[in-house]
Structure 1
Amino acid sequence: MSEPNEKLDRLVKWLESRGVIISNAITARAIPGRGIGVVAVSKVASQEPIIQFPVDALLNPRTVRQKLTELIKSDISVALKLFQPHLPITTVKKTLAKNLTKRVKTDKTELRISSVHRNALNSLSSHQLLAYYLYQEAKLHDQGEQAEWALFIDVLPRLQDFKSVPLVWHVLQEENSKNLLPLLPNTTLQHAQRMIKQFNNDFQTVRSIFANVDDLNQFLWAWMCVNSRCLYFHMEEAPSSDDCMTLAPLVDFLNHTDINHCTIDVIDTSPVKKFSKAQKFILETGRSYEPGEEIFLSYGPHTNSFLLCEYGFILDQNQNTQLDITNEIINLVCQGNENHPKAKYLAKYGYWGDYTVQHDSISYRTEVALAVAQVSDAMVQDEPAKTMRQLEAAQLKAYMIGVTDGYQYKARSNELLAPILHAIIKNGQDAINQLSRLDLDFNVENIINLYKELIWIAESQLV
């Protein structure tokens, strides 16, 4: 058995010792070009549970906060070692009766310390907390100390495996990729810049709380592991759905497809439907599989632009592929001015922004915005109007709320859209020509394929 398989085997046995149930019909193995994947080794039926976790065996903010809180309570020195000095450690004053034992005093001191640092833990987002915990566990593991999640860390990708992610290009600033960021399509660049901003904020926030975070590259590795492998798990205490993040080893080895193969569900076998040890986090198949078939999981209806920024890959054929023309449509409708009457009109009815085109369709939001671009400013304002203008305004509103098909706007909408699509095609071809002069590697190839995809969509709409 090869070394990677030995590590996987140890992880599986450890998970099973924690109450995780893994079907004998599946196995995790290396998939050429895609890292580790999950494959059927015998026939798997549709709607068959293949991995089942007790919820307390998951790695998420709930279990991490519980673990760190227990450590702090058990030993004051842990707080002194983990947390920054600016988080005050307040001890109990000597106002206790003389007959109280030193142990009582110690207990009260520990209780005060744990409450101070519990507040610090609770201030962190799920992403920040999970990234820190992986970072800390990896440091312990590297130093030969005991790390609870060492067997999981052993099979996680290394930082070099994330080198196809634009955020990683930016942070590492390696010669062969540091100049690629400005060459990304505009929508992809904007997504990458948001991730860069979030990562920098998360790194600084975590460093402001924990004293032992000093390795930027290792934190980047931990942050990317969480970002690329997290799954949704509802937690009542989470401030928002974005904070309902969990890591489930083995489940996160399933590679992505744009077609649903499996579903994730949480069931409660206890009489009272609330969080309890009776809850189970279950991965269930959506269809049957023959031996040797890879089992996939859809990460969501994501475009290739999204997949590249978040995970570092694109699909050869992606049914969710779309062309984002939000900036172009906003400039067309109101010259980029959000205070323009047409901008306010679109916002009032919930049609402001998010304008997209697919190869075989134009989004309804885009169609509505193109219709609004055709009418006068007065027509969208709340002011006395002539009878004809009132009729036209009523027609526009009827189209906007789906009462009519807006046939009267179609021809002009196509005329307004054509120059936008021609400009995208030209800009894409120019970018491909520039990229083709660079040394071809997987990063350059991915960017070229993104431009080819955008050109394909634009040309499809011009036919």
Structure 2
Amino acid sequence: MDSRIATLRAVLEGRAVRVSDGIVAAQIEGRGVGVVATRALKAGERLVEFPLAELANPRTVKAAVEKAAAAGAAGAAGAAGSAHQTMALWVYLQRFRGAQMAQIDGGRWQSFVAVLPRDLSSWPLMYSAEQLRTAPAEVRTRVERMRAQVRADWAAAAARSGLEIELDRFTWAWLCVNSRCLYFRMGEMAAATDQLTLAPYIDFVNHGPPARDGATESRVGVAAAGPRQRFSLTTTRAYSAGEEVLLSYGAHTNAKLLVEYGFTVADNPWRALDVTAEVRRLLSAEDRERLDGWGYGGDVVLTDDRDLPLQVEVVLAVVAGVDERFVHALMAGQTDGRKIELRVRAVLTGVLERVVAEAERMLTRGDLTADVARLYRERRELAQLHS
């Protein structure tokens, strides 16, 4: 891998991408590839700078995708897809139709595709059915949504390109994009979820959770103005030689990190206990319909803060059979929950007891991944905090 990383860096630098002499990407034990400081780095130091035209995003790869699609039976008639779908199709074509793409773009992205991870087995989307059943309900729900989106994008990409696209290979490409893309605003992309780009080498930087006050290890974004605009990775604090450079992927819980990026982190400051599945089992179909109509049918999530969010309080009040007029007053802020606190807490206690019992039962198993075991330990700790 190190030789492939060195090749990628040389190719990028040959395309006017500046990579600081103060960093190197290399294998880090237990963390895959990461970026390490080779000397002391100052806060505000730009570590990687991309001319915007050298990024890989719907703006820069559109023509290549359209040319590849034109070779398909129905490619010319296909409608443009979302940014994620477009980029997944592009990564798929680059890896699995490399010879065809080399004729289109001269093979300029092959050094990037060569360093993309081949083994994505740590992503729950790639778990076996039996393995997925061992994960908490929140993870299973997230995976179901992701699987539906991947299948929709796969079907649309195949129809759009007119090519025979294998679902397992497209899934690999989709996950690579999902876990490596960065926010990049493009005016021609209307949806917020479409503002994304791939930035080789920057995507080697591992996640460092943002602090509760919003402080981060480094940042990415567009610097300068006009024709000299650059997309850059910039430190926000000083680093010592040998220290790993980190970048926040967002204020994400470990459940979200696992599903979206294939890992969890120890001592994550963004802990949350999702008890949606446990609570929804206590609601009748009529109750769920009422909550949806009131705009309170969303997830039921507890954090390190012992105070109950209004969303949680309302749902638990419905489970407890609290008079609907009181629930409406609660939602409108005309009363607080003190009058129903005992009833709400009784429901919550039962839910939390089931969470703790499930976590303890699952943690006795010998077939959990380290990440799934960490999720159950977190769930037990948060349930005990709120008990």
SS at match of 1:36: strand
Percent of aligned pairs sharing the same letter = 31
Contact 1:360 1:460 in 2 (8 A): no
Find the counterpart in structure 2 of residue 164 from structure 1: 122
1:280 is displaced (CA, Å) by: 1.6
Find the counterpart in structure 2 of residue 131 from structure 1: 88
Does residue 459 (structure 1) correspond to residue 384 (structure 2)? The answer is: yes
Find the counterpart in structure 2 of residue 428 from structure 1: 359
| Of 104, 109, 121, the match for 1:149 | 109
1:376 is displaced (CA, Å) by: 0.9
Find the counterpart in structure 2 of residue 172 from structure 1: none
CA distance 1:365–1:328, shift in 2 (3 Å): farther
Find the counterpart in structure 1 of residue 243 from structure 2: 293
1:79 is displaced (CA, Å) by: 5.7
Structure 1: gaps (5+ residues): 73-77, 88-116, 170-176, 271-276, 382-392
In the superposition, the TM-score normalised over structure 2's length comes to 0.88
Higher deviation after alignment, 327-336 or 196-205? 327-336
1:220 is displaced (CA, Å) by: 2.4
Contact 1:121 1:129 in 2 (8 A): no
Find the counterpart in structure 1 of residue 219 from structure 2: 263
Find the counterpart in structure 2 of residue 364 from structure 1: 309
SS at match of 2:173: helix
What are the Cα deviations for residues 202-239 of structure 1, in whole angstroms up to 9, with x where unaligned?
A: 22221122244433333222112111101111111113
Does residue 446 (structure 1) correspond to residue 371 (structure 2)? The answer is: yes
CA distance 1:24–1:207, shift in 2 (3 Å): same
Within 5 Å, give how 1:223-302 maps onto structure 2: 223-259=174-210, 260-270=216-226, 277-302=227-252
SS at match of 1:339: helix
Within 5 Å, give how 1:48-447 maps onto structure 2: 48-69=45-66, 72=67, 80-81=70-71, 83-85=72-74, 117=76, 120=78, 122=80, 124-141=81-98, 146-158=106-118, 160=119, 162-169=120-127, 177-259=128-210, 260-270=216-226, 277-329=227-279, 337-340=287-290, 344-345=293-294, 347=295, 351-366=296-311, 368-369=313-314, 372-373=317-318, 375-380=322-327, 393=329, 397-398=332-333, 406-433=337-364, 435-436=365-366, 440=367, 444-447=369-372
1:429 is displaced (CA, Å) by: 2.4
Measure, in 1, the Cα distance between the counterparts of 2:101 and 2:299: 50
In the superposition, the TM-score normalised over structure 1's length comes to 0.74
SS at match of 2:240: coil
Letter in 1 for 2:205: L
CA distance 1:343–1:328, shift in 2 (3 Å): farther
Measure, in 2, the Cα distance between the counterparts of 1:234 and 1:363: 36
Higher deviation after alignment, 328-337 or 195-204? 328-337
Contact 1:65 1:121 in 2 (8 A): no
Aligned residues: CA RMSD:
2.7
What are the Cα deviations for residues 3-36 of structure 1, in whole angstroms up to 9, with x where unaligned?
A: x222212211211222212221111111112111
Letter in 2 for 1:27: V
Structure 2: gaps (5+ residues): 211-215
Compare CA radii of gyration and give the structure with the larger one: 1
1:364 is displaced (CA, Å) by: 2.0
CA distance 1:396–1:308, shift in 2 (3 Å): closer
